[in-house]
Amino acid sequence: MNLTRRQFIKRMTAGIAGFVGIGALGYSYAWYIEPRLLSRQTYVIEHPKVPRAFHNFKILQFSDTHLGFHYDLEQLEKLVRKINEEKPDLLLFTGDLVDEPQTYPFSPRLVDELKKLHAPNGKYWIYGNHDHGGYGTEKIQQVMDSSGFQLLQNEHRTIKNGDSSFTLAGLDDVMLGKPDIAGALYGADEELFTLLMVHEPDVADRFTDKAVDIQLSGHSHGGQVQLPLIGHLVTPPYADKYVEGHYSITETFDLYVSRGIGTTRLPYRFLCRPEYSVFQLKHKDI
């Protein structure tokens, strides 16, 4: 087919306009839409060490809100409502509450919102690298303390139901804290089902010989941007190997990595929706 010069220019222009249009659409989607498309990830953890008394026990994990970086208190308010609708038995936050504690304008409303979160068996949290960064260590702890969250910094608690129990441990942040796995598990009963919170997922490889059954992490943000067939492009240090979802590290040790709620560095998410995770414990007969 022979095109006249005018037709050729017209088609070229239309083609370029289309390409730019799709690019702009994708860009707008990644900036304005997907970061707000909160998703719910569900996992069933069926394990012989889960006591019968904890059959159907519901643990909710949220991570990496990065308040102050394209994530505000209105969004947090919606998240709080959603989490409370889930009626979790136990609530876990795996770090990075605020993007930059040094510059974030802390308001009493932050505590008011976090305080509203309800879980009968407790609310626990660990430090992420952004919490320790920018002199945030004490400020973030103040906020979380006032909101009814208990910090697990290289320590553990026993979660009880009648005579049955399991261990919940938390590690200090690997990048900017002083992580001490021996301290976190010191005195814990190795026979009990043990869940460990660690902000950075990749260190799971170091814990294969520890009495830990499950590790819950965040930090990766799933890479924030993923491409079809290629997957994630960039992840932060210590989230290189384990980026999102479930990994069987050994036959007796599983890792779950949350893509988190907010964003950092760049305010985009593409094919990498924000998420919170719901874990349902099930006792497994052997």
Q: Which residues bind Fe ion (CB under 5 A)?
A: 64, 96
Nearer to Fe ion, 132 or 156 (CB): 132
What does the block give as tokens for 252?
């007796």
C-alpha span between 153 and 181 (Å, rounded)? 10
Smallest distance, Fe ion to C-beta of residue 91, A:
18
C-alpha span between 100 and 264 (Å, rounded)? 10
194-197 β-sheet, strand order: 155-161, 164-170, 194-197, 214-217, 253-257, 245-250
Alpha helices in the chain (DSSP H): 5-28, 73-86, 108-116, 129-132, 137-146, 181-185
Nearer to Fe ion, 96 or 213 (CB): 96
Residue 215: Cβ within 10 Å count: 25
- Rg of the chain over CA atoms, in angstroms? 22
Smallest distance, Fe ion to C-beta of residue 215, A:
17
**109 CB-near residues (< 8 Å, 6+ apart):** 73
Nearer to Fe ion, 96 or 155 (CB): 96
Kind of pairing between the strands at 155-161 and 164-170: antiparallel
C-alpha span between 180 and 186 (Å, rounded)? 10
Smallest distance, Fe ion to C-beta of residue 130, A:
6
Taking the CA atoms of 144, 239, 29 and 264 in sequence, report the sign of the dihedral they define. positive
C-alpha span between 274 and 190 (Å, rounded)? 34
Smallest distance, Fe ion to C-beta of residue 98, A:
10
Smallest distance, Fe ion to C-beta of residue 147, A:
19
Smallest distance, Fe ion to C-beta of residue 241, A:
17
In 3D, which of 210, 268, 266, 259 has the Cα closest to residue 239?
259
Indicate left, alpha or beta for 162 from its phi (over 0: left) and psi (-120 to 50: alpha).
Answer: left
Nearer to Fe ion, 96 or 244 (CB): 96
Smallest distance, Fe ion to C-beta of residue 95, A:
7
Q: What is the DSSP letter of 31?
A: I
Nearer to Fe ion, 92 or 185 (CB): 92
Nearer to Fe ion, 64 or 172 (CB): 64
Nearer to Fe ion, 47 or 70 (CB): 70
Smallest distance, Fe ion to C-beta of residue 164, A:
34
Nearer to Fe ion, 183 or 267 (CB): 267
Q: What residues does 280 pair with on adjacent strands?
A: 44, 58
